[in-house]
Amino acid sequence: MRSGENKPIITADDLTARYGSNLIFSNVSFQVNRGEVLVIVGESGCGKSTLLRILIGLEKPSCGRVLFQGNDIVNSGEDVLHNYRQNIGVLFQSSALFSSMTLNENIALPLTEYTNLDTETINLIIQMKLGMVNLSGYGNHYPAELSGGMKKRAGIARAMALDPIVLFFDELSAGLDPVTAVELDELIIKTNEALGTTIVIVTHELESICKIADRVIMLDKTAKGIIAEGTPQELKENSADPRVRSFFLRQLPQKTAQE
């Protein structure tokens, strides 16, 4: 994390999410500070992905608001949301590259839509982005011709096309081999340090969390909200909550007498 940058860039304020009558989480409030790598963790089904979808404006919470640089993206009009989306980049779990387009076309899409740059400049930017994710030379490949890790990296290149202020990653290294996962972690660290991009990651890959996170927020299925917040080190070593300890120490939770 770049030092001295502790201003909140995104503020989640009292978010509650439901699916029908099912409460996913309630009263979730936290801040994402400029330039930090924030990791949202929790067991499967605790609402991590729902929280991410709310943060990127794909779903509306049942109540609460999300502020980006002071503007409420949940309850304001389409213009605010549109402006917000031009300032963020998202990498989905499945990479979500457009399968009918080559990597070059995928990365060119936001550039041609939101800028007036000439083709030559756009091509140069595409090559630079591909180079940043170690995919130089793969521009004319279609997503189907790439491996899982390469697709993720191409997804990152597309997400970074407009040099967004905040990058969101959903399950960054899920289903990838350890070497590729480490490569992606390195890429995240490099992007954060070199470009100062604020990064929000949803994951439960413990090794990644400990390596890349400046701060961790932990959601819990039974508590239906945030149960811990702090640096990975703090949560791992000092947390009194058995759920946090069992997560960070990879242990089964202690069974209560009733169980």
Partner 1 sequence: MENLPQQPAAYRITHQLQDAKLTVYLAGEFGIRNLAAFVGDINRLLVAEQREISGIDLDFSGITYFDSAAALAVIRVREETPDKKIKFSFVNLNEEIRDIFSVINNKGIARRPTKAIKPREGILVQIGDTCFLLGRDFINMITFVGELIYALSYTIIHPRSLRSKDVLFYMKRAGVDGLPIVGLISVLMGLIMAFMSFLQLKQIGANIYVPSLVSFAMVKELGPLMTAILVAGRSGSAFAAEIGTMVVNEEVDALKTMGFDPIRFIAVPKVLAAMLVVPLLTLYADLFGVFGGLIVGVTGLDLTFNTYIVQSMKTIKVFDVVTSLIKAAVFAALIAGIGCQRGFQVRSGAQDVGKYTTSAVVSAIFMIVVADSIFAIMLHYVR
Piece of 24-32, 69-77, 82-90, 185-193 that binds partner 1 (CB under 8 A): 82-90
Q: Which residue has the tokens 């936290």?
A: 30
Nearer to partner 1, 93 or 123 (CB): 93
Number of residues this chain uses to bind partner 1 (CB under 8 A)? 20
Question: At 82, which amino acid appears?
Answer: H
Residue 100-129 contact track with partner 1, rule CB under 8 A, x = bound:
---------xx--xx---------------
User: Which C-beta is closer to partner 1: that of 91 or that of 235?
Assistant: 91
* Contact window for partner 1 (CB under 8 A) among 35-43, 81-89, 127-135, 246-254: 81-89
Q: In the range 37-76, which residues lie near partner 1 by CB under 8 A?
A: 53, 56-58
Task: Identify the residue whose tokens are 């330039």.
Answer: 35
What is the smallest separation between the CB atom of 85 and partner 1, expressed in angstroms? 4
- Pair of tokens at residue 29: 């409030």
Task: Specify the stretch interacting with partner 1 by CB under 8 A; choose among 23-31, 83-91, 198-206, 214-222.
Answer: 83-91
Binding mask 85-104 for partner 1 (x = CB under 8 A): xx-x-x-xxx-xxxx-----
Q: Is 142 in the site for partner 1 (CB under 8 A)?
A: no
Which residues contact partner 1 by CB under 8 A? 53, 56-58, 82, 85-86, 88, 90, 92-94, 96-99, 109-110, 113-114
